[in-house]
Structure formats: structure tokens, C-alpha cells
Amino acid sequence: MTDLTNNVATLPESPGVYIYKDHSKKVLYVGKAVNLKNRVKSYFQNIEALSPKTQAMITKIADIEHINVENEIEALLLEADLIKRYRPPYNIALKDDKFYKYIKIEKNKLSTPEGESKTISKIVTSRKKTKEGEYFGPYPESNSILVITKTLRKIFPYRDCSTQKFTRYQKAKRPCLYGHLGLCPAPCLGGEAIIQNNINIKKIQEYLSGKRSLMFKQLEREMKELSKNHEYEKAAVIRDQINSYNYLTQTKNNVNEYLKNPDLVHNKGADAVTKLLAELEKSFKLQFTNTDTETFRIETYDISNMSGKSAIGAMSVTTGGVPDKSEYRKFRIKTKDTPDDFFMLQEILKRRFNRIGESEWETPDLIVIDGGKGQLSSAIEAMEAKDIKIPMISLAKKEELIFFYDGTEFQYINLDINNPALKLIIIGRDEVHRFGIAYHRQLRMKNLYQ
């Protein structure tokens, strides 16, 4: 058990899939987690409280393997794939339809308001497979399907209604609630909505089939073609689909890529660091003491407050291009209770710089400030006040511009949204937002009940 405890201690605090194996290397169980370390640790903290089946499984575990992924959706898809592949005895048997669900794509012939008969696709979930339709899965939890379908539906709205409901709203000549919310193109109203619904479902079909890279290349080609033909509104819709997907999931990896290369996340992170260093050297002439892509540390800072109340600062960290959640830090603002983000930013940076050289606080190789010229100026003042010399840039959210001050003037670069260097900085910025907002909300609730 000691070896297993040591194994758990080295797990990352990031999304992924964990695999329990016995002494003969047979897979006992496959699970997914948003935070691998916390999820696996929970199995060994209070064994007596676990079910008899789980307790029996734990006595057989000889090794724990894991595969890092970049988001919850990929963890869900990879878990389902591995369960189908290994059929672990401690996962519920796949033949038991009471527990497993599929995503099903149906094609119905329906009458349109124009009096024609057209094929109108829809997406539903099902516990059983029949000859009709195309199935994806099965997925080990109903919640897994809910996360996948809800996420995809925000990007590619689709029909999921029965024929009866479709006909009812067609007669009413108005869309249902999902149509009003923009989660369904409302093909019941006919015309272009039918075409758009079928196109969106085809994109989801490609995504679930693992053809994500191909899907994105097609989307980008469509967007460029529409722009070339001056159909800017349609091009903007596709652009928003691409941006929304990148924002919601941060990636578009094929699950099979993880099976071929379990170190995919770390390899991609190291590649992003390489590209970032090259870009900053080329554009700003920045030089770095540490150029080891595996250990390169980026710290990102942000302020969160509401009218100055319960103000906090937050720091996220990427090491080797991968979020390093055990290194995140939060700062409660001590010297200001009125809105002043610049002053608050200086306070948390000075406090952080006071820790330079301490063993629990690794020295960053690059500092990123959330904001534009104003925030970057304040951060530079804090660094100079402490006589610290660390390369520093900022990221302005609206246009995702990267700013740098060379001592005489501000410079900036505007990288393509798909550039790995920019994506790496955006990941750090989004993580510090999430971490900071969660802490800010916690303090507000605490103050509310005091």
C-alpha cells in the first residue's frame, strides 16, 4: 500500500483517466477525473466507508497508471474508449444496458412548411442499439452524455425533439424554448434552418467519430471561402463556433492520439513553450536564463473584486506548458478596500517577490499580467521596487494582444488565435480567472454569513 500511496502523491491535479491494474498487469478499473490526484486519493483515505465491491478491488490494485488530457470532455470520451477496449471487471459490464447510454443520430423523413418531404436529422440518447440510426458510446454514466451533449449543443445547435413535438411547433409557426435559446436551429420552421440543423449534426458526428482535426480544417476552409465571397455574417458564425469550442474545451485532440501517446499533453505543452520562447525572442528580443521546455515556469496574475470588497489576487502556474495546480496561490488584499486594480496588483506582486529564493516558491521564468498597458506598467513598478529582473508581458483580453515594455515604449504582437504560443498564455489567463473568481466567491459568501 505504501508504494501505491507514493504513486498517488505524484499524480497531477489535472483532468485525465486513471487505470487500476493487478499484479499480472490486468486492468481492473478505468475511471475519469477532473482532478486526478484528488479523485484517486479519495479511494485510499477512508477505505471502510467504501462499498464492499470497491474495497475488494483496492486489495487487488498493484499499479496505478494515468493519462493526462486537456479537458473534461476528453476524459469522458477516453474513459468510454478504454472501458470498451479492456472490459475491466470492476466497471459495470457493458452488456448491462440499464447503466450505459449511447448518443444516437437519427434521420427522419418529415414534411416541411413548404409541403416537401425532407430528411431532418436529430440527436437523442438511448440505452439500446437497434438497426436504425448511428450510435456513439456507450458511456458509463448518464452524466457523461449530459456534459458532452450540452457542450456540443452550445456550439452546434441541433434538433432533439420527437416527430409529434416537431409537427406541433410547425403548425404553431414558432420555435420551442430550445429554438428561442439558440440551442436548436428550429428546422420545424423550414427553409435554411433544416440545412443548418443537418450541417451541425454532421459536424457533431465527425467530432464523435474522432475526426476532430478534419472537422476543424473543414470549418476553417468554409470560413475563408465565405469571407472571400463577402458572406461575412455566415463566416462570423463559423468563426464563433471555432472560438467557442476552443474556449469550452481548450483543445481538439482525437482520443486515439492519447492511446498512441499517453504523454501527449506534456509533449504539446513543451512544444508550446518552444514556440512561445521563439516568438518572444523574435518580437521583443527577450532572453531567458532557463530555456528547458520541461521546467519552464510561467506565472499569471489577476485581481478580482466587487467595488473593492473582498478583493483578492490570484496566481496560476504552468510548468512545461501544462497547468501546475499545486503551485497556484491566492492573495487576500490587505491594504486597500476601494476599487484600485493597479494598486492591488502591485500589492500582490510585491508580496510574491518577497518570496523569491524561498524553497516553496520556485522563481518564475516569465510573468504574465492579465490586462493591457496600464496593468503592465503597475506590475513593472512593483518589480523595480523590489529590484527583481524577470521577463514580463501582459495579455489584453479583448483582442488577445501580447504587450511588452522595452524601457522606452510599449510594443505588442497580435498572434493568430490557433498559435500554440498564444494558446499557452490564454490557458494561464483563463486558469487564473477561474481560480481567482472561485476564491473571491468563497470570501463573499463567508462575509455574507458573518
Between strands 297-306 and 366-370, the pairing is parallel
Query: First-to-last CA distance in the chain?
Result: 43
> CB of 234 within 8 A of CB of 226?
yes
In CATH, what number does 269-448 get? 3.30.420.340
Cβ-in-10-Å burial (0-12, 13-18, 19+) of 51 comes to: exposed
Dist. CA 255–CA 189, nearest whole Å: 37
Alpha carbons 94 and 92: distance in angstroms, whole number: 6
The three cell numbers of residue 362 are 520556485
Helices assigned H by DSSP within 163-263: 163-172, 177-180, 192-208, 212-228, 232-249, 255-260
3-class secondary-structure state, position 284:
helix
Give domain 2-86's CATH architecture: 3-Layer(aba) Sandwich (3.40)
pTM of the model: 0.63
Q: What DSSP assignment string belongs to 41-80?
A: HHHHH-GGGS-HHHHHHHHH--EEEEEE-SSHHHHHHHHH
DSSP 95-164: T-TTT-EEEEEEEEEEE-TTS-EEEEEEEEEESS--SSSEEEEEES-HHHHHHHHHHHHHHS------HH
123 forms beta bridges with 105
Per-residue confidence in pLDDT tens, the chain, 450 aa: 556 777 788 888 888 999 999 999 999 999 988 889 889 988 888 888 888 888 888 889 999 999 988 777 788 878 888 888 888 988 864 444 445 788 899 998 888 887 888 899 999 988 888 888 888 877 766 667 777 788 788 878 899 999 999 999 999 989 999 988 888 999 998 888 999 899 889 888 888 877 766 777 777 788 888 888 887 777 777 777 676 665 545 555 666 677 777 888 888 899 999 999 999 999 999 999 999 999 999 999 998 765 546 678 899 999 999 999 889 998 888 876 666 778 889 999 999 999 888 878 899 999 999 989 999 999 999 999 999 999 999 999 778 899 999 989 999 999 988 899 999 999 999 888 888 887 766 766 565 544
Cα–chain center distance at 221: 24
Q: Which class for 76: exposed (0-12), middle (13-18), buried (19 or more C-beta within 10 A)?
A: buried
| Burial readout 77-109 (b: 16 or more C-beta within 10 A, e: otherwise) | bbbbbbbeebebebbeeeeeeeebbbbbbbeee
Residues near 51 by beta carbon (within 8 Å), at least 6 away in sequence: none
Domain residue extents for the chain: 2-86, 101-254, 269-448
CA atoms of 319 and 317, how far apart (whole Å): 6
